[in-house]
Structure 1
Amino acid sequence: MAQPFRSKTGIYQLRRKVPAELRQALGYEYKRSLGTRDPAEAKARFAEEWARSEAAFALARAQARGADVLTERDMQQLAARWFRSELKQLEATGDFASWLAEGTAWTVEQGSNGQEHVELTTLRQALDEDPEWDLSGKIRESVKRALAAGGIPVPTDRAKASRLEAVFKEHWLKLSDLAQERHSGNWTAQPTVLEDEPLSVETKAPSSRPPKLLELFESYAAEKVLNDGDTRAVRKTIGAYRATVEQFNGLFGEVAAREIGRDMVRDYRSALSQLPASGDGIRGLSAKQLIAKAESEGLPRVSPQTVRNKLRALSAVLSHGVRMGHLSENPVTASGIAKAAAKAAGKGAAAKRKRKDYSKKELKLIFSSPIFSDRGWSPPRADFGKAWFWMPLLMYYTGARREELAQLAVRDVKTGGEGELIPYLSILEAADEDEGRGVKTEGSRRQIPLHPDLIERGFTLYVASLPAEGQVFPMLKPNPAGFFGANFGKRWASYLRDEIKLHSSASPSHGFRHTFKTLCREVGIPEDVHDAITGHAGSGAVARDYGSMPLRRMAEEIRRYPSIASVIAEA
């Protein structure tokens, strides 16, 4: 989790690495001072500054997609804000001469002595007399500071950037004109700049009618797409959150978002815990009907984890309402109910599942089972082709997510590195490779070196036998939500449970990801290396977020990862 960074001066900062595609607009690093040396105060300010950084990143992404982030009026407004700030400081100091240029000099004779005088002119007059006089560097610096203060990305379109500099230049000249008036004693002259109003990208004042919860959700969903992109994962999250909001409305009616208080959130948590987890005929029933059915028929109730997840969904929407100025607080977090639900879910998870990774005995049972033996096993119902054999092996040897592997195209199996060519998997390294596929986060785009055992078992030969423009697992078809591995995951879970009688606390597919991390630690593979292989963000110093992990280094370390044969022998 991101935390305030303490600088050498002791003042805390927010520091975020900027993705490569946004660096032209935001620079290599997004850094803002929190203005305090107190850790507690820094944490409080950090949350607010983080929200501003999210808005800045969202604007930069929108600009990268071709959106017009700054209108002509916005440019005038930014320059007017800069003008008012500079004028306030200027009038406080009285140093008006600093905004004037030296003009004609003359000497006044006083007896045997002479006193030299210099005429002070405006910058506008100075430029008229000497067009080569260059203010561009100072103007660009003013533009840069004004954009940073407003969390606005630097325009990447050269024509737009030039126009913004021209607008600021005119305000520079206006400030010099006014400085001359003040210097000569005229305090009645007033600047002709725009009055302070929000930019088109800034939060507008809430309408007279407060938004309903569902309306607030629609605003939240639009912001999430803007921030995170219109990906399958984002659409899945939005769909789940919409269902939660509609269920909330089914319990309490279509209330205005600001009417949702702490008492209502407490009642919502109580109602959630009464919902049935399963049962015949529950599909299509309202929330109140579900609770009545669960009570009358004694149906099993939802888990504390489900209650926590639904509260998180509601909290995300309400937090958006706070950021947009519609709500004064998020009652889910302010009441402590979210924390209590998370604690209950943690206790429930601990009681239900002690391990998230497979034990070596469980791995032996899996990889000694019919799929990996010579007994000619064939799937009972679903024929996924070679995915039955290769998907579990890839999950074990790479720690990749099931969907990352299920969606692989043949062109994603590559060789690279300097000197000796290293076989590796490309997990959508570039965004333009997506083509209906996706990754969980931008940090999930990566290279994964292939373990020698995968090559010895014939994985690269298998891939070479496939059509160059096809999928690595052509029998895996995307479900309606666009996920290639969803149906395989269900059948794999059934195989473990019904075919080989494995009852593990590890998740059927994701358990391999936890196993990979466990075994990497066991053999001493450095954390930053196996984080790079699995696509996990580093949790150490800020410096870890800089640079990239070389493919050769990952390939060297992956050779230390235990082969399945050695695990089976040890179990």
Structure 2
Amino acid sequence: MSETNRLLKRKNVWYYRRRVPLPLVSKVGKKFIQISLETSSLAEAKKRRTVRDLEWDTRFDAFENGGDDPVAGDVADKPEVPFVDLVRRYVDRIDHRSAHRLLADGPADLAEQRAMRMDNELELQALTTPDDPHVAEWVYHAERRMLADLDVAVADSLSASRSAEIVRRGLVEIARRKAARLHDDFSKKHFDHLFDPDRPMEVLFGELAKQHLAMKLEEAEANTQSSKWVEKVTAHVALIREIVGDKKPVSAIDFDESLRVRSVIAQLPSNRSKFYPKLSIEKAIQQGKKDGRATMAFITQTDYLRTFKDILDLGCLKRLLPNNPAATLQPLKKDQVALDKKRLPFSEEQVRSVLTSPFYHQCSPGASKPYSKPDRDWRFWLPLICALMGMRPLEVCQLLVGDIHKTPKGTDFIDVAETKDDDDENVKTLKTSASRRQIPIHPELLKIGFLNFVDGRRSMVGEKGRLFAHLKPDAHGNSASYPMKRFRDHFLPAAIKLQPRQSFYSFRHSFRDALRRCEAPASALKALGGWTEAKAVSDHYGTTHDPDHQAQWIAKVVYEGLDLGFLEGAY
């Protein structure tokens, strides 16, 4: 037989294609059976062909014998059941029938009982003897009967050798249960853990991954996570499902399978969906290597592995796995960049160059050619606020006029908080719970005229209006995406030479360095920057966010050589 007999390749995918016997065409409803084997590998296709051969041999036999097979099209029309569950059902059914027969027509005397025990012992001996010539035939016929009697389709495409081994174990289980009954031993309900009658039905990886994602999405909705976060989580789960395969039984995922998943993640090119959207994982890896594409970053690989682990953790909670085989796995290639070097701060010279660039001189009082484009306000205030107050870009871009307050003691501050009602027109989100804080406004910003700018906006839009009206949220609700793109592509490169791992967020890291230079305590780091430093239980009591108290530290945030006096009264 040709190695590609009953195999057809279309668009790099193998199909099972088989001619329907002419007398059966009217019953089957077609002249050919054609089913995707969902693989581009010929070796794997040949293994899956064996399963389909068994399936269709049985169905054709049923038609020839006058049976009423409900399949009038593809096997996919039948309910799909994992192969292990098929064997379990078969074992339970045959064992029940064997027990009933023994009860109804047991041995007449001791001699017959000994003979029955001997026959059973010989059967067990054959089933547990490697290469016994009879075993392969027994397994083949048992598998055919199984598929014919249970009227279902196989949900997972196991290799022929593995499916045969599961059937053999099932036959051994049947023989052992019969042997126990013949010896009046009723102490065990099963011998092989695979056929424990109390064991839950097999769950496929796709089902488990769907439940995991549903739980994540429910949590996201309850905690008002951004749509960008939701898309990210959804994409992570989708890739892991593609790597593992939806039809793989959860119980079949072991340490070796986990290593394979890690290996695939390590080889995937970065931005695969952008550069190779129509290629399978295997082809994308090959093409990425050929094109010299970089693989995914360490942190991205870590995120995908974490998703895989989380799905398997759910499997452990549902008692589908005894333990998580991926629990200790880390990306293959170690991270070459230290955690504190992931994003570098701007040097004091760079901060000085940006904040005294020609743009700011165009915004100074009495400028010969004042800057008057619509982006003036946010382009002016964003770098100043982030460098002198350490706020995240999104925290600044989503500010409302009503977020600027004054304490009873006279300290002006910005209240960084999320909106309470998702139905608010101007929704605000925070990165973490530690991001909720009240930051005293830097004295330099007060001199420049920040409060005058706020009062001007208040007279125009009221307390609930946006401070920066021209910044509109993107599809993910992020009002900082557009200004960050403009700073990245144009404004920052025009003012300074960016070094690797520097971006607009480097202002926030420069702010942290400035706090260190003035020896601000850890409580100030948390109160002003929203960084979580404290771990002691006592740190959760009392408040360190008092703007009156923290004003002393914000006033000490300075950059050597930076003189903003030329901007005083700009607003």
Normalising TM by the smaller chain, what interval?
0.5 to 0.7
Aligned match of 1:60: none
Q: Residue 267 of structure 2: SS of its match in structure 1? A: coil
Residues 1:489 and 1:212: Cα distance change in structure 2 (over 3 Å):
farther
Structure 2 vs 1, CA of residues 325 and 405 (structure 1 numbering), >3 Å: closer, same or farther? farther
Residues 143-158 of structure 1 aligned to structure 2 (within 5 Å): none
Structure 1 residue 413 corresponds to structure 2 residue 404: yes
Matched to 1:275, the amino acid is: L
Judging changes above 3 Å, is the alpha-carbon distance between structure 1 residues 377 and 309 closer, same or farther for their aligned structure 2 residues?
farther
Change (3 A) 1:319 1:497: farther
Displacement of 1:496: 5.3
Match of 1:243 among 215, 235, 238: 235
Name the residue aligned to 1:82.
none
TM-score, structure 2 as length reference? 0.56
**1:427 equivalenced with 2:416 (yes/no):** yes
- Measure, in 1, the Cα distance between the counterparts of 2:561 and 2:397: 24
**1: CA distance, partners of 2:217 / 2:541:** 27
1:519 is matched with which residue? Answer: 514
2:73 corresponds to: none
What is the rounded CA distance, in whole Å, between the counterparts of 1:565 and 1:277 in structure 2? 41
- Aligned pairs for 1:459-538 (under 5 A) are 459-466=450-457, 467-468=461-462, 469-495=464-490, 498-538=493-533
Correspondent of 1:396 among 363, 387, 396: 387
Structure 2 residue matching 1:483: 3-state secondary structure:
coil
Contact 1:406–1:473 under 8 Å retained in 2:
yes
- In structure 2, the residue matched to 1:367 is 355
Map 1:50-199; keep pairs closer than 5 Å.
Answer: none
User: 1:521–1:527: 8 Å Cα contact kept in structure 2?
Assistant: no
State how far apart, in whole Å, the 2-side matches of 1:270 and 1:530 are: 39
SS of 1:356's equivalent in the other structure is coil
CA contact (8 A) 1:425 1:449 kept: yes
CA contact (8 A) 1:429 1:446 kept: no
TM-aligned CA deviation for residue 278 of structure 1: 5.1
Flag the 1:320–1:511 CA change in 2: closer, same or farther, 3 A: farther
| CA shift for structure 1 position 533 | 1.5
| Alignment RMSD (CA, Å) | 3.3
Q: CA distance change for structure 1 residues 354 and 484 in 2, over 3 Å: closer, same or farther?
A: closer
Partner Cα separation in structure 2 for residue 325 and residue 552 of structure 1: 54
Task: Show CA shifts across 1:289-313 (max 9, x none).
Answer: 3213213333333233322222122
Question: 2:171 is matched with which residue?
Answer: none
Structure 1, 454-463 or 307-316: larger mean CA deviation: 307-316
1:565 CA displacement: 5.4
Aligned to 1:346: 335
Shift of residue 377 of structure 1?
8.6
Say if 2:228 and 2:476, in contact at 8 Å, map to a contact too.
yes
Cα offset, 1:429, TM superposition? 6.2
Q: Work out the number of aligned pairs and report it.
A: 354
Cα distance in 1 for residues equivalent to 2:263 and 2:397 = 39
Q: Distance in 2 between matches of 1:437 and 1:565?
A: 36
Deviations 1:46-97 (A, max 9, x none): xxxxxxxxxxxxxxxxxxxxxxxxxxxxxxxxxxxxxxxxxxxxxxxxxxxx
Cα deviation, 1:450-482, whole Å, max 9, x if unaligned, reads 111111111111111112132011111111111
Segments of 5+ residues of structure 1 without an aligned counterpart are 1-205
- AA aligned to 1:495 is H
Taking structure 1 as reference, are residues 525 and 350 closer, same or farther at Cα in structure 2, changes over 3 Å only?
Answer: closer
Determine whether 1:308 maps to 2:302: yes
For 1:477 and 1:207, the matched residues in 2 are separated by: 54
Structure 2 residue aligned with 1:86: none
Aligned counterpart, 2:547: 551
TM-score by length of 1: 0.56
Gaps of 5+ in 2: 1-197, 566-571
Aligned-partner Cα distance in 1 for 2:538–2:334: 34
Alignment match, 1:198:
none
From 173, 185, 207, the counterpart of 1:215: 207
Q: Partners in 2 of 1:298 and 1:516 — Cα distance?
A: 38
Q: Is the 8 A contact 2:399 2:466 kept in 1?
A: yes
CA–CA distance in structure 2, aligned partners of residues 383 and 285 of structure 1: 44
C-alpha deviation, 1:360, in angstroms: 1.2
Q: CA deviation at 1:356?
A: 2.4
Contact 2:227 2:477 in 1 (8 A): no
Larger Cα Rg: Structure 1 or Structure 2? 2
Paired letter, 2:360: F
CA distance, structure 2, for counterparts of residue 351 and residue 533 of structure 1: 21
Change (3 A) 1:227 1:249: closer
User: What's the CA shift for 1:321?
Assistant: 3.2
